[in-house]
Amino acid sequence: MAGEDITIHGPDGSFGAYLAKPSAGSGSGIVVIQEIFGVNKVIRDIADSFAARGYFALAPDLFWRIEPGVQLTDKSDDEWQRAFGLMTKFDPDFGAKDMQASISHVRWLDGCTGKVGAVGYCLGGLLAYLTAARTDIDASVGYYGVNIDQKLDEAKNIKKPLMLHIAEKDQFCPADAQTKIKDALKGNPNVTIHSYPEMDHAFARVGGQHYDKKSAELANQRTAEFFKKNLG
């Protein structure tokens, strides 16, 4: 069942999103949180894969305030520079508000059970963490999130299950930042952290420079089991 581009009406305005629905017409929801490349083919394919496993999968355009409809790849220097430029202009606080609007949208879709999870990658990994701390999400997963170490004062607000996948050789999250994250979250029974030795940033991005099939499959299996347990 092919996905479609839709519009979400948030508190600060309307923005686009990609929605993939399960063929059965019923199931829990997943909000797929973009990388710095926008809601591109990689993110849409991830949403489609969740829909194929029985979820309503929604990928909101979190760059809409800066430049709506961004769909970059990681295949050229020009696109990388545009992506980094967008990230520097992006305000995570607004992103968290848009996440709540997206969660609410999915939660009330016809056929949705009302349970909604979130999964984010890179910039989306940070948003997955903030989503766990600031929204009414039921469960969140972050892959190689960036700058989480700068938001650890919010760790105390995490009351629902959160899983983080950390790449131990992540060029955008150095070892000292990883240590801070683990130390701040280790006392929270809602948080599960998995580390992947020798893995660099974006090890689960299919087709990416640092893609590692074995580690990606392990992380994705852990994510699938996590959502099955917490979303039904």
Cα 194 to Cα 109, 162, 231, distances in angstroms:
32, 11, 20
Kind plus residue range of the DSSP H or E element containing 141: strand 139-143
Kind plus residue range of the DSSP H or E element containing 146: none
What's the CATH number for 4-231? 3.40.50.1820
Which two structure tokens, joined as six digits, stand for 162?
A: 């959160």
pLDDT of residue 232: 85
* Predicted confidence (pLDDT) per residue in 88-133, tens digit: 999 999 999 999 999 999 999 999 999 999 999 999 999 999 999 9
Q: What are phi and psi of 110, to 5 degrees?
A: -60, 125
pLDDT of residue 1: 58
Cα 174 to Cα 102, 156, 205, distances in angstroms:
31, 23, 19
Reference 220, options 32, 3, 8, 10; nearest CA is 32
Q: Return the exposure string of 194-222: e unless at least 16 CB atoms fall within 10 Å of the residue's CB, then b.
A: eebeebbbbbbbeebebebeebbeebbee
Q: Quote the CA–CA distance of 205 and 216 in Å, as a whole number.
A: 8
Q: Quote the CA–CA distance of 223 and 104 in Å, as a whole number.
A: 22
What residues are labeled active site? Answer: 170, 201
Q: What is the DSSP letter of 34?
A: P
Q: Quote the CA–CA distance of 118 and 171 in Å, as a whole number.
A: 24
User: pLDDT (tens digit, 0 to 9) for every residue of the chain, 232 residues total?
Assistant: 579 999 999 999 999 999 999 999 999 999 999 999 999 999 999 999 999 999 999 999 999 999 999 999 999 999 999 999 999 999 999 999 999 999 999 999 999 999 999 999 999 999 999 999 999 999 999 999 999 999 999 999 999 999 999 999 999 999 999 999 999 999 999 999 999 999 999 999 999 999 999 999 999 999 999 999 999 8
How many CA atoms lie less than 13 Å away from 84 in the CB half-sphere?
Answer: 6
